[in-house]
Structure 1
Amino acid sequence: MRLIFEIIFLSDYNIGTGYSEGILDTPLVKDQNGIPYIPATTLSGVLRKGICDLLEFDYLSHHRKCKRSNSDGSSYCRNTKEMCPVCRILGSPASKKEWIFSSALAVNPENRLKPIISWKNKININTGTAEEHKLFNKELYGKRMRFRFNIQKERNDPHSIEEASFIIAAMRWIKNIGSNIRRGDGKCEIHLISHEPICFIDSDNHESLNSEQCFLNVFKRSWIDNVPIKDFEDITKPYLDNDNIETNGPSVKKICYLIFLTIEPFLVCNTNERGNTYESLSYIPGQTLLGALAWKTARQLDWTNEEMDQKFLNLFIKNGIKLTPLFPAKKLDKDIYPSIPIPYDFASCKLFPLTENNDHDWKFLTGEENEHNTCQVCKTKNRISPLKYVNGFISLYIQEKEAQYNRFFVKVNKNKSTHIAINLPKGITEHGSLFHYITVNPNQYFIGKIEINDWKFFSEVLKINEDKPLIELNIGKSTAKGYGLGKLFFYFPNEDQKVKGLFIGKSFESRVDHENLKKPIIMTLITDTILLDNWGRYYQRFDGRVLKKIFQIEPNIDVKIIKQFVRTRRIDGFNSLLGLPKWRERVFCAGSSVSFQFKIDDDEDLKRELIKKLKKLEKEGIGLRREEGFGEISFNHAVRTDKALSMRIRLPEPMRLKRLKKSIISRTEKRWIEYLNCKINDFADKKWLALISWLESQDLKIEQMLNLIEKFHTNDEKVKDIINNLKIDEKTNYFLKNKNLESFQGVFKKLITISKNIPEEVKDYWRMESLKLFGEKIASNLKVEDND
């Protein structure tokens, strides 16, 4: 079930980041494009307050069960069959939170206004004066802003409809959001605008009611009158109908690419936190993706059906799904290009690190026979710059341009946010519970591969449409607080893409064949790899004996190690179902490279057999936990060659980002300032500034101002009365007649022309802002004149 709400602000508001920024003490929360939004954590706290406020009424007193719901007793509801609304909806240590919040995004970001900086000081109560060094400011956003967010749950059973009715009633109760609500800031209204799926039967009782009123009627009957929802005649059956899922049909195996577009920031941690700081990985590990798909599938199933239970086990427990990590993709126009972790033997100039169109020295050290450790380009210019290793991701796109091959790298943008923990009994911040999240920003692409043995069952459970194979998926930590939401598209590759390989870009035969089998071959680990010896110990370096065991080759073939650049690390995990940590593994890091050479006789059959084994290993991977994305390898990877490379994937229409339009106010303001810069010399008199101030005080539209200006010194009685009331003397009268009055009228005619696209709801704001800009231009011009 999905509930979609809209927030309409009736006054200025401030929802701060929790830390200062430049000269601002309390800046607004904004996304990477500078557009304000309301975090899901704020909305969750707002809902908690609304639920607790409603429970204060006597007609809901029988629903108070624990201290969270303002009752005596335990700190939370321990009996999961009889829980208070707070524990039932928002979760507790005894029950998992099932309702997921999204952040509230601006409805029309192109119509947004400019923020206002408000200054405040602290008053000393004893002296009645401002205290020293106690001047503060905060960033406010204007009223009339509208935001939309959704609260959703995977199921749509009668219990979910009951909980949804309480959520809607609590949101309607909320009147203020943000800071300084006792001083008039943050006044708002929250309404339900739609819900999915439809759970009310059309009847005479509901024809004149909208969704919000229908849910409020459910709230009254279910929570106040205590009528069981199963007795409601106007409620449809649950949305999930497991009877339509076939469990006896034949299994169909499918291989497809996964394109993931982040809608909200995500946080995926692979190590323990550093203090109270959690930093996300720059990619999505395979085990994280597998767990997210398993949880989404599990919430859709009827676990009383043994056949469905067995299907689920075959898919997620018995290796029915094999996938790779999702690595960041390089986006160029409407195309994306996969990337891989930069191999550890890749080094570039330290002073001028390799970027697109950079001509300084770089090289793959594994393939170099005469190794040098300094940049040869810098050396010709009498500079000494060592070659340093580069970390990150390199895309499978090499552009040939003027006999040079430009490589493209992928940068993953991250942002830092601050969170606190609330002591619920006291209602204040928990001491020492300030947390920092370093998250991956929204609107970034990631790509990987998945093999599904039973596509029919998988697609029916997750309701994947063949024409539009797209689902929403929550990834990583704090998914119920506005993190991790994204769109996952199942892209079916063509035969050419399958032959090239998603993370390789060229066919195996074009990189390795039996004729150059005696030449050095470079094996690159595309993903983390787990390798154990016969006693269960982790390998931490490669040698000939290890490679012979991996390749499973005949005893008469030897392997000689030439060079290797490898790193190892520990990986941790946590089983949220059992509440226990997973087994700690020691892995070879993705990007580790080893150069080796076969010592083999000139036997064509033996060479062909060896080629088949290498090709099979590249296809299936090596080591343990390959179904979770470990052990992906490549021989003589295509990014190591100085040849054009393009593993281009066209973005499907549903996955393309809409181009963010610049604010209409900002665009109109730019045109207005450019026009004023050309005309400002016509108004080099301070009396024009007084005229602008007078026009600002009039409650008139821009068109009405122009009519008023055109009637200056006419026989219009209204104008005469205005002039008499202002006591305009003869000098001012002469000034208005002769000092560029026609040019002044022309300015307002131009203002009317460029203001045509301004939305009606912000025209009053634009009227004041345009006059303010006009006055500032005149004032700045006067200052220049005085200085001269």
Structure 2
Amino acid sequence: MAVELTFELQLLSHYHVGSGFAGEIDSFLLRDGDGVPAIRGTTLAGLLRDGLERLLQMPAVRQRYGEGARHPLGGGYCSSGASCPVCRLFGTPAGPGLWKISSARPGGLERPAMEIKDRFAAVHRVRINYAARRSQPRSLFSLERGDRRLAFVFTAQSAAGREVNVEDVALLVAAARNVRHLGSSRRRGWGECVIGLRGIQGVEDAGFPAEPAKVQEHFWERILAFCAGEIERDVLLTPVNRAVENKRSLPDPVSLLKEALRQPEEPQVIRLLARAAEPLVLACRAEAGNMFESVQAVPGRAIFGSLIRRAAEQVGDSLLPDLIKELFFTGAVVLSPLWPCLKKDTLVFPGLPVPRDTGMCKYFSGYNGHDKEERGLFLLASIDGPGDEYCPQCYGIYELRDSKVETPLVAGTGFVAVHEKPRKIEITLAPEMHVSIDNGTGRALPRQLFGYTALPAGTCFWGEICFRSRAVWECFAKIFNLGEDRAFSLKVGKAAGRGYGTLRLHAGRLQRAEEREGFNSPLRERVKEGEERIRFTFISDTVFVDQWGRYCCEPDQRWLEKILGFPVEVEDEDVFVCATERDGFNRLWGLPDQRKVIIQAGSTWRLKVPGGVKKEMLDRMCRLEAAGVGEYRWEGYGRVAFNLLEEKIQLPKTGVSLPEELLTELLTDTTDHFMRRDSAWSREVNELLDKRLDEVVKEWPGGERKQLALLARWLYRQRHCPVEELEEKLSSMGWPSENIIKYLKDYCDPGRENKIWPPGKGQDRLKRLQELLEELAGKSRNSCEFTRAVEALAGRLAGIGADVKEEV
């Protein structure tokens, strides 16, 4: 059983952990897909590693550990033969460490956070020329300041199947206590923090205290007692879990599976809905330089590998080869990729690759939607005469230099949501930059910048798993500890032990292949009996091998009939296929795997069925959609669909409701978070300004509104004053001060008109503005919020004044 430690990182000052990208300011905070600040597991692992390195260099600890505490400083690693505690706990390039560190998010906020709009605070800095004691030219920069009120929560989980002893936990807790700063500008007072243990799970030592704070002191005292010579190291090596002995006991799972495979074949399908709890990095082999770019769907081979790791946790490694062979290689279990979904509130619309026999407008690319410039999908196979190769919604409408603009159709790409009005699923990949740190100086190493372009947290997916029979599903559920209408988690992709790759899934109800929900459109509604023409679309990459073991991409009619199980006719102009090569790598051998030639997802054949579709053909199509075709189907290859996105088919108007387990996930018990209160307060202030600002502005008619820019600058300078003092200063604005009247009375013009508050209408202006300030003070709970409200008011007035100035 894995040991899981929950830590809380409490900030003592403002911090900055940058995302590596600029916009309105030069360096933004790193945030999750829902806009909430986050700290990646890579950063936390580096902090804990540095804390443990410094701990081991203390004389008392170094004396007790001897040569075992010697760790190469400056970013080095131990050799594979002898491993120090640092490399054992956090890993080396040769192998992973014991602890997997998650990303940290603010405690008390659900994941993903709802209705949270964090307001960033920009801090401006300038570099100084020490010789001239002046600012250097072109050296002004700005960064986003993280709020010191934040308290981040993260977990450290031991690797599956590895035994954890007291020393492993105690050193990690001690390393956390030794962390005092994070992020940039730590030498200038930023990033002060403390990390404390808040919970521990998976341990079996009855002598541990019940309170988490006392558990932390318990492990810390054992390290101190060892350094003081009061206990021997054998006490620290006492295991706190017994991972090997705690495997779930199944009565010979291989025999149980073989018995299930003897049952009559009756395909069953279970639908999966998933949400990315952390960013996903599922990179292709062809990464560009030092940037790993993630694909837009979760490949089936990633799900396959993650399920195998889950099985190893449940039944151990010794039975895995036989289980993999009987479950997957025989076709008893078939996986699909996880395709992206279009999410609207609590509903999701399943997405699928765009068929390659459809086209879209080249200049107004997109699909049917609310945007008036979006165009629909059009069948390329229906092109017969002149003009058919152009977008029918644009052809002949737009003109350039008295000539018609040609708007050709191009093949559709990406994913489309199965909806009454099919819409393109826009997936915005989230780039995140990382840099290697010199452990000796604590600064970034030169030429060591790399990045991940990841699928953002909160992205929703869907997929399917097909089983040969219900008995196979029941055996599968026991081996992998799954069940119907149950949620579970998997780790997929790169950096899964450093804050990436957590996928939260929900398994639906088991259904017969003929009754499967599929793509929100049952097969018997897409294909009717007696139909003579059907579309055969690959919705995942597919691998075909002929009788000589060669990869093929354009099988002939005879071979196609063998795959489908019924006679068909196909012409060359009805084939829309795109093929590519895909490399692989065998980690066991350490050598490249065989290069596969695959048919890419979206490839389509338009087939003619002599005599029309019959009932037994529909049954065959149902089985093909559930079980797939071709090779490597256990890795998500070979998924197909018939008559996908046909215009004559009535597509569904409503989507699939997300299960409650996928909607939100609380990191801690409390939900009354200051970020939620701040977001609600900001909405109230903006609504008040939207409602009352027009009443204030109308007192400045026409060109006089340019004075609002002057008033905005004055309010911004006085934003820290209490409301009473601000009203008093506001009433005296535009008049000379008492000192000027006292010392320069001979030069003052007592009859000079106040342009801000002129006679007559000036008092109405002042009254309106003072009433608005009082209402803003009533909405604010403290002086900081009132200051922010005055800043918002000043920004609104400055915008109005600037617009008038430009008009004048």
TM above 0.5, yes or no, is yes
Aligned 8 A contact 1:68 1:86 in 2 = no
**Superposed, which structure 2 residues align to 1:529-568 within 5 Å?**
529-551=542-564, 559-561=569-571, 563-568=574-579
Letter in 2 for 1:346: T
Give the distance between the partners of 2:415 and 2:713, measured in 1 at CA.
60
Aligned with 2:695 (options 675, 678, 697): 678
Aligned with 1:14 (options 5, 9, 16): 16
Give the distance between the partners of 2:55 and 2:550, measured in 1 at CA.
59
Q: What's the counterpart of residue 628 of structure 2? A: 621
- Does 2:78 align with 1:85? no
Aligned 8 A contact 1:3 1:196 in 2 = yes
Give the distance between the partners of 2:383 and 2:192, measured in 1 at CA.
67
Give the distance between the partners of 2:804 and 2:393, measured in 1 at CA.
53
Structure 2 CA distance for partners of 1:317 and 1:232, relative to 1, 3 Å:
farther
Structure with bigger RCO (C-alpha 8 Å, 6+ apart): 2
Give the distance between the partners of 1:374 and 1:255, measured in 2 at CA.
41
Q: What's the counterpart of residue 32 of structure 2? A: 31
Q: CA deviation at 1:184?
A: 0.8
Q: What's the counterpart of residue 402 of structure 1? A: none
Larger CA deviation: 413-422 vs 213-222: 213-222
Aligned with 1:751 (options 764, 773, 776): 776
- Does 2:492 align with 1:475? yes
Give the distance between the partners of 2:586 and 2:743, measured in 1 at CA.
81
**Superposed, which structure 2 residues align to 1:652-667 within 5 Å?**
652-657=659-664, 663-667=679-683
Aligned 8 A contact 1:112 1:665 in 2 = no
Aligned with 1:505 (options 517, 521, 528): 521
**Superposed, which structure 2 residues align to 1:316-331 within 5 Å?**
320-331=332-343
Q: What's the counterpart of residue 247 of structure 1? A: 251
Give the distance between the partners of 2:426 and 2:803, measured in 1 at CA.
46
**3-state DSSP of counterpart to 1:663:** helix
Letter in 2 for 1:18: G
Aligned with 1:332 (options 337, 344, 353): 344
Q: What's the counterpart of residue 100 of structure 1? A: 100
**Superposed, which structure 2 residues align to 1:170-569 within 5 Å?**
170-197=175-202, 199-201=204-206, 210-221=214-225, 227=231, 231=235, 237-238=241-242, 242=246, 244-248=248-252, 250-251=256-257, 255-303=269-317, 310-311=322-323, 314-315=326-327, 320-357=332-369, 360=375, 362-366=377-381, 372-381=388-397, 382-397=404-419, 399=420, 406-422=421-437, 429=444, 432-451=447-466, 454-456=472-474, 458-460=476-478, 462-464=480-482, 469-493=486-510, 499-500=515-516, 502-503=518-519, 505-508=521-524, 511-513=527-529, 515-516=530-531, 519-551=532-564, 559-561=569-571, 563-569=574-580
**Superposed, which structure 2 residues align to 1:61-80 within 5 Å?**
61=62, 62-63=64-65, 69-70=71-72, 75-79=77-81
Q: What's the counterpart of residue 582 of structure 1? A: 593
Give the distance between the partners of 2:795 and 2:443, measured in 1 at CA.
45
Letter in 2 for 1:78: S
Q: CA deviation at 1:503?
A: 3.9
Q: What's the counterpart of residue 56 of structure 1? A: 57
**CA offsets 1:585-634 (integer angstroms, 9 cap, x no match):** 0011111111233557x9x9xx7766665554444322111222211223
**3-state DSSP of counterpart to 1:297:** helix
Q: CA deviation at 1:424?
A: 6.4
Give the distance between the partners of 2:642 and 2:36, measured in 1 at CA.
46
Q: CA deviation at 1:202?
A: 6.2
Aligned 8 A contact 1:67 1:425 in 2 = no
- Does 2:150 align with 1:133? no
**Superposed, which structure 2 residues align to 1:577-656 within 5 Å?**
577-598=588-609, 613=620, 616-637=623-644, 639=646, 641-645=648-652, 648-656=655-663
Q: CA deviation at 1:248?
A: 3.9
Q: What's the counterpart of residue 720 of structure 1? A: none
Give the distance between the partners of 2:445 and 2:714, measured in 1 at CA.
56
Give the distance between the partners of 1:96 and 1:360, measured in 2 at CA.
49
Give the distance between the partners of 2:610 and 2:802, measured in 1 at CA.
85
**CA offsets 1:727-765 (integer angstroms, 9 cap, x no match):** 99999xxx9xx968876774454234323xx5xxxx342
Give the distance between the partners of 2:47 and 2:379, measured in 1 at CA.
54
Q: CA deviation at 1:446?
A: 0.8
- Does 2:691 align with 1:669? no
Structure 2 CA distance for partners of 1:197 and 1:673, relative to 1, 3 Å:
farther
Give the distance between the partners of 1:98 and 1:34, measured in 2 at CA.
31
Letter in 2 for 1:627: W
Letter in 2 for 1:480: G
Identity of aligned residues (%): 24
**3-state DSSP of counterpart to 2:199:** strand
Aligned 8 A contact 2:311 2:320 in 1 = no
Q: What's the counterpart of residue 719 of structure 1? A: none
Aligned 8 A contact 2:247 2:314 in 1 = no
Structure 2 CA distance for partners of 1:6 and 1:709, relative to 1, 3 Å:
farther
Give the distance between the partners of 1:425 and 1:233, measured in 2 at CA.
30
Aligned 8 A contact 2:269 2:466 in 1 = yes
Q: CA deviation at 1:14?
A: 1.5
**CA offsets 1:239-277 (integer angstroms, 9 cap, x no match):** 786365323475569641111101111111233222222
**3-state DSSP of counterpart to 2:180:** coil
- Does 2:20 align with 1:5? no
Q: What's the counterpart of residue 400 of structure 2? A: none
Q: TM-score, normalised by structure 2?
A: 0.79
Aligned 8 A contact 2:56 2:69 in 1 = no
Structure 2 CA distance for partners of 1:367 and 1:423, relative to 1, 3 Å:
farther
Letter in 2 for 1:125: Y
Structure 2 CA distance for partners of 1:71 and 1:686, relative to 1, 3 Å:
closer
Letter in 1 for 2:651: A
Give the distance between the partners of 1:72 and 1:349, measured in 2 at CA.
56
What residue ranges of structure 2 are gaps of 5+ in the alignment? 262-267, 398-403, 667-674, 701-706, 732-737, 751-756
Give the distance between the partners of 1:638 and 1:361, measured in 2 at CA.
12
**3-state DSSP of counterpart to 1:483:** coil
Structure 2 CA distance for partners of 1:657 and 1:353, relative to 1, 3 Å:
farther
Give the distance between the partners of 1:348 and 1:212, measured in 2 at CA.
61
- Does 2:175 align with 1:165? no
Q: CA deviation at 1:25?
A: 2.8
Aligned 8 A contact 2:542 2:601 in 1 = yes
**CA offsets 1:119-171 (integer angstroms, 9 cap, x no match):** 32323333333333333332222322222222223448762553233222212
Q: CA deviation at 1:346?
A: 0.6
Q: CA deviation at 1:486?
A: 1.8
Q: CA deviation at 1:694?
A: 10
Aligned 8 A contact 1:286 1:324 in 2 = yes
Structure 2 CA distance for partners of 1:163 and 1:580, relative to 1, 3 Å:
farther
Q: How many residues align?
A: 741
Q: CA deviation at 1:48?
A: 1.6
**Superposed, which structure 2 residues align to 1:111-150 within 5 Å?**
114-150=119-155
Q: What's the counterpart of residue 401 of structure 2? A: none
Aligned 8 A contact 2:163 2:244 in 1 = no
Q: CA deviation at 1:342?
A: 0.7
RMSD: 4.6
Give the distance between the partners of 2:395 and 2:804, measured in 1 at CA.
55
Give the distance between the partners of 2:320 and 2:552, measured in 1 at CA.
40
Q: CA deviation at 1:547?
A: 1.7
Q: TM-score, normalised by structure 1?
A: 0.80
**CA offsets 1:512-547 (integer angstroms, 9 cap, x no match):** 53x34xx33322112211112222221132432432
Structure 2 CA distance for partners of 1:745 and 1:120, relative to 1, 3 Å:
closer
Q: CA deviation at 1:408?
A: 2.6
**3-state DSSP of counterpart to 1:667:** helix
Letter in 1 for 2:554: R
